[in-house]
Amino acid sequence: MLNLSVEGLTLVVQNHYGILIVAVLSITITSLLLKAWGSTVDTTDEDGIPGRLGLPFFGETFSFFSASYSTKGCYDFVKQRRKQYGKWFKTRILGKTHVFVPSVEGAKTILANDFVHFNKSYVKSMADATGAMSVFSVPHKIHTRIRRLLSDPFSMSSLSKFAVKFDKMVCERLDKLEKSGKSFRVIDFSLKITFDAIVSMLMSVTENPLLEQIEKDCTDVSNSMLSIPLMIPGTRYYKGMKGREKLNETFGNMIARRRSGEEYFDDFLQTMVYRDSYPEDEKLDDQEIIDNLITLILAGQTTTASAMMWCVKFLSENKDVLDRLREEQLSIVRNKAEGASLTLEDLTEKSYGFKVVKETLRMANVLIWLPRVAMDDCIIDGKSPLFKTTTSILEFKSVNANFHHCLQGLR
């Protein structure tokens, strides 16, 4: 039997004070969490939508992020809950209740009423990654102005010149890969080629090491878009915010050199700087330019690369569709000079190719999560998401959907 005097027990407590405090706190916190978890299990409130809100604030955040950064993606998070609750379900992510809307009609209702009955509702990490003056984050009135000014430089003449440039970039890199005889991942190739193309189009950066540095910083920012927004060294959020600081400095220096006349390129950034003498509502300030450069890179790269990857996958599974698309391409090439690049006019003639792209986008989502917050009580497909509840549009494609069969209907 253990026999300790009062003095001995006091000495033990003093020597292990820190450990005892941690143990007591751990037991207390664990008890509170278990109690909270027990009180927030599967629920169906007055809105009639089942689901699990989980722990206060955190909810199912960790499960959502874990799935998002796994090979299965956030679809696995949704799939598991749809098996348990049905197509409609709710959850809590980073302190906000999310109702997942599963239907096309529901998505149309929400998006058709953007800025009226619904508003954008991005998690803090997303908003911080793109920036306070990004077209993703600003209020409706400012959004309209920024979106208009961002779209102005993308004229038909600009797109026509870039179509030729992009065709050359792709051909050169595919030739290089063919000569190397090495296999490669389509998604890696797509991400790299789209990043280089977007940065070239926006600010004419084509040479290393600057291109590599911008890519690294943008990757860190992109990886932080779904993360716990805590500035803890080593975390995705911390790396993303540090990457943003570097991009702010890099792009700010570019703007300064363009403005002083030290550099000049016929690109998107130059058109923004050129507006310095315009009225306030007809130009963007430096931070608006920087935030939206980052936004255009992040949004353009991931969506375009995903679409390219899925298109290759579906074509590889449907040989007759691939053969027809190849024949359309060859028919255009036969009427061009040897080695000539595709032009924007050539692309407009690819009617079947256009249908292949549309069918790819129908079959595979390139935007996996579109959160909107309900500004008023509303009814969607007979369901009633409550006021200020975030509705997350996430439409699953039918397991019976067939790329080839659906494409035949488009011919």
Residue range 17-40: average pLDDT?
50
Is the residue at 326 inside a domain?
Answer: no
What does the pLDDT read at residue 214? 98
Q: Which domain holds residue 193?
A: 146-317
Both 375 and 303 in one domain: the answer is no
Res. 311 pLDDT band, cuts 50 70 90: very high
Total Cβ atoms within 10 A of residue 282: 12
- Could you say which of 317, 337, 358 is where a domain stops? 317
What does the pLDDT read at residue 124? 87
What does residue 267 show for φ and ψ, rounded to 5 degrees? -150, -175
CATH number, position 85: 3.30.43.20
Both 151 and 235 in one domain: the answer is yes
Both 155 and 252 in one domain: the answer is yes
Both 260 and 158 in one domain: the answer is yes
Both 100 and 178 in one domain: the answer is no
What does the pLDDT read at residue 24? 52
pLDDT of residue 201 exceeding 90, the answer is yes
Per the structure, how many domains does the chain have? Answer: 2
Q: Which residue has the higher pLDDT, 171 or 402?
A: 171
Res. 172 pLDDT band, cuts 50 70 90: very high
Is the residue at 110 inside a domain?
Answer: yes
Nearby residues of 379 by Cβ (< 8 Å), 6 or more positions away: none
Both 238 and 385 in one domain: the answer is no
Nearby residues of 306 by Cβ (< 8 Å), 6 or more positions away: 187, 190, 364, 366
CA dihedral sign, ordered 367, 369, 373, 377: positive
Both 239 and 312 in one domain: the answer is yes
How many Cα atoms are found within 13 Å in the side-chain-facing hemisphere of 148? 9
pLDDT tens-digit profile of 121-171?
Answer: 778 898 999 999 999 888 888 988 999 999 887 877 778 888 999 999 999
Both 55 and 185 in one domain: the answer is no
Both 164 and 269 in one domain: the answer is yes
What pairs with residue 393 in β-bridges?
A: 101, 370
Is the residue at 285 inside a domain?
Answer: yes
CATH number, position 191: 1.10.630.10
- Could you say which of 278, 302, 317 is where a domain stops? 317
What does the pLDDT read at residue 114? 78
Lowest mean pLDDT segment, chosen from 149-163, 186-200, 207-221? 149-163
DSSP 55: B
Residue range 18-45: average pLDDT?
51
Both 67 and 172 in one domain: the answer is no
- Could you say which of 266, 298, 317 is where a domain stops? 317
Is the residue at 376 inside a domain?
Answer: yes
Is the residue at 126 inside a domain?
Answer: no
What does the pLDDT read at residue 27? 56
**Which residue type, as a one-letter code, is found at position 98?**
H
Both 84 and 169 in one domain: the answer is no
Is the residue at 32 inside a domain?
Answer: no
pLDDT of residue 41 exceeding 80, the answer is no
Both 232 and 88 in one domain: the answer is no
